Amino acid sequence: MVELKIMATYVYNSKNVTLLDGTELEITPLKIKYLREFMEEFEGVKSAKDDDESISVLMKCVQICMKQFYPKISNTVEEVEDNFDLPTVYEVLDVSAGIKINKKSDDTVKDQATSSGESWSELDLAKMESEVFLVGIWKDYKELEMSLSMPELIATLSTRRELQYEEKKFLAAIQGINLDEQDGKGQDEWERMKARVFSGGATNDGNDVLSLQGPKAKQLGFGIGMGLDYENITN
């Protein structure tokens, strides 16, 4: 017989990291409140003169991350330096904000960091938050930004837009209009933006395998580390 095994789906990836004293932290994408602060500090990498200056800025970025993940060591950069080795710093940057750095790469830390940290600047965050705010769950925008990370914001907005589109398509079909045949430029741009966010800025192509994460993977039934899986069991 065939047994279907439903695997959990995820809006984002998380990772456990271990500090030098053995403390284990679960790292997830930063909530928008902290991501804003992170990206403001991250701008300093662009003007860094060498890897030492770049790493100093990135340490400050990790200090901001600790406000969410481990407030106990978020007061000073020195606390971060006392508790993290460099490979763990890079893991935190990757998962929390999509900043990808490979210590074995021939490229400088600055070049690696800036090449993976540009995608957020292309998003109209205020407009996206305003649209999601209409869901009516949050009392103000401050609460929204403390509640949602970027992947969560995109997932919520994506579902809302898709539900609205399905409703419009139904009403149009009653009048004999097929919305799927209309100009899809706006929808194409939305798909490119979702691909950019879910792939951590690695691709703008919604058909690229790197974009098959989170809600999109759930819709398609597969994706990187998530989606649906099955196994054949023969009696």
Of all residues in the chain, the percent with pLDDT exceeding 90 is 41
Average pLDDT over residues 63-70: 97
**Given a cut of 60, is residue 225 above it in pLDDT?**
no
Q: What local confidence, expressed as pLDDT, does residue 8 receive?
A: 53
Average pLDDT over residues 212-220: 46
Q: Which residue has the higher pLDDT, 195 or 84?
A: 84
**Given a cut of 50, is residue 233 above it in pLDDT?**
no
Average pLDDT over residues 166-185: 68
Q: Where are the domains of the chain?
A: 13-122, 125-232
Q: What local confidence, expressed as pLDDT, does residue 169 receive?
A: 76
**Given a cut of 60, is residue 168 above it in pLDDT?**
yes
**Given a cut of 70, is residue 9 above it in pLDDT?**
no
- Categorize the per-residue pLDDT at 135 as very low, low, confident or very high, splitting at 50, 70 and 90: confident
Q: What local confidence, expressed as pLDDT, does residue 126 receive?
A: 85
Q: What local confidence, expressed as pLDDT, does residue 235 receive?
A: 43
**Given a cut of 80, is residue 122 above it in pLDDT?**
no
**How does DSSP assign 45-83, residue by residue?**
GGG-SSHHHHHHHHHHHHHHHHHHH-GGG-S-HHHHHHH
Q: How far is the CA of 79 from the CAs of 19, 28, 72, 177, 181, in angstroms?
A: 11, 20, 9, 62, 57
Mean pLDDT score of the chain: 77
Q: Which of 75-89, 91-105, 191-205 has the lowest mean pLDDT?
A: 191-205
Q: What local confidence, expressed as pLDDT, does residue 162 receive?
A: 81
- Categorize the per-residue pLDDT at 174 as very low, low, confident or very high, splitting at 50, 70 and 90: confident
**Given a cut of 70, is residue 25 above it in pLDDT?**
yes
Q: What is the pLDDT of residues 38-54, one digit of tens each?
A: 999 999 999 999 999 99
Average pLDDT over residues 79-84: 96
Alpha carbons 65 and 39: distance in angstroms, whole number: 11
Q: What is the token pair recorded at 5?
A: 């095994």
Q: Which residue has the higher pLDDT, 108 or 5?
A: 108
- Categorize the per-residue pLDDT at 226 as very low, low, confident or very high, splitting at 50, 70 and 90: very low
Q: What local confidence, expressed as pLDDT, does residue 137 receive?
A: 86
Tell me, what amino acid is at 204?
Answer: N
Instruction: Give 234's strand partners.
Output: none
Alpha carbons 173 and 176: distance in angstroms, whole number: 5
Q: What local confidence, expressed as pLDDT, does residue 103 receive?
A: 81
Alpha carbons 163 and 200: distance in angstroms, whole number: 25
